[in-house]
A and B are shown apart, each in its own frame.
Chain A
Amino acid sequence: DIQMTQSPASLSASLGETVSIECLASEGISNDLAWYQQKSGKSPQLLIYAASRLQDGVPSRFSGSGSGTRYSLKISGMQPEDEADYFCQQSYKYPLTFGSGTKLEIK
């Protein structure tokens, strides 16, 4: 199975700050990487797919990058509504696997 190591586990950011979350895959996943946002008590929502493609309706302050085994999600200018858990997920190979999540809070 492909292991997805996500860091940091938690993060605190001020409004307007730029934050980054990283995922390291245990083998190359050819950009088959998605990022999801999960707000408290809600279901996850797709933010980014194919490593860097923004899902329709997602604010442009969210961006994804990476290749091979290293991927990152960047939020350029933290907003109150961005307080949530974030997960990466690979769909390169079955079984599909998720990162352990990053809890992002407002400082």
Chain B
Amino acid sequence: QIQLVQSGPELKKPGESVKISCKASGYTFTDYAMHWVKQAPGKGLKWMGWINTYTGKPTYADDFKGRFVFSLEASASTANLQISNLKNEDTATYFCVRFNSGYVMDAWGQGGSVTVSS
């Protein structure tokens, strides 16, 4: 079955960096784009952007340009999200999401939690 398994919770200080991984299984990794969605505590869902898993080209939403980097380890069917120069407002759960050919988010990771606190 299709699974997206994300890395565990992270506690970081402001200014540090964090990397969240998302390992896919149960399908051909390069056949589907991978999107990223942020959910701050008690808040709604915000689309961050996506990465073409065939070419490796990332596309970022305006609010996530600069400190956020999407990358791949295609041989390991893994997508990564790296956030640098962490700020308190980056405290959130970050979901990787498979995007199918019908333009639908049809499979979600369990979420990678990041807490930024001094």
Q: In the complex the two chains form, is B110's CB within 8 Å of A43's CB?
A: yes
- Counting residue pairs across A and B whose Cβ atoms lie within 8 Å, the total is 47
Q: Is A52 an interface residue (CB 8 A)?
A: no
Q: Is B44 an interface residue (CB 8 A)?
A: yes
Q: In the complex the two chains form, is A89's CB within 8 Å of B95's CB?
A: no
Q: Is A75 an interface residue (CB 8 A)?
A: no
User: Given contacts A97-B47, A101-B44, is CB(A49)–CB(B102) below 8 Å?
Assistant: yes
Query: B residues touching A (Cβ–Cβ < 8 Å)?
Result: 35, 44-47, 59, 61-62, 95, 102-111
> For B108, what are the chain A residues with a Cβ–Cβ distance below 8 Å?
43-45
Q: In the complex the two chains form, is B105's CB within 8 Å of A87's CB?
A: no
User: Given contacts A43-B110, A43-B111, A44-B95, is CB(A34)–CB(B47) below 8 Å?
Assistant: no
> For A49, what are the chain B residues with a Cβ–Cβ distance below 8 Å?
102, 104, 106
Query: A residues touching B (Cβ–Cβ < 8 Å)?
Result: 32, 34, 36, 42-46, 49-50, 55, 87, 89, 91, 94-101
Other-chain residue from B59, B95, B105, B109 in contact with A34 (beta carbon distance below 8 A): B105
Other-chain residue from B45, B110, B111 in contact with A98 (beta carbon distance below 8 A): B45
Give, as a whole number of angstroms, the nearest-CB distance from B86 to chain A: 22
> For B110, what are the chain A residues with a Cβ–Cβ distance below 8 Å?
42-43
Give, as a whole number of angstroms, the nearest-CB distance from A89 to chain B: 7
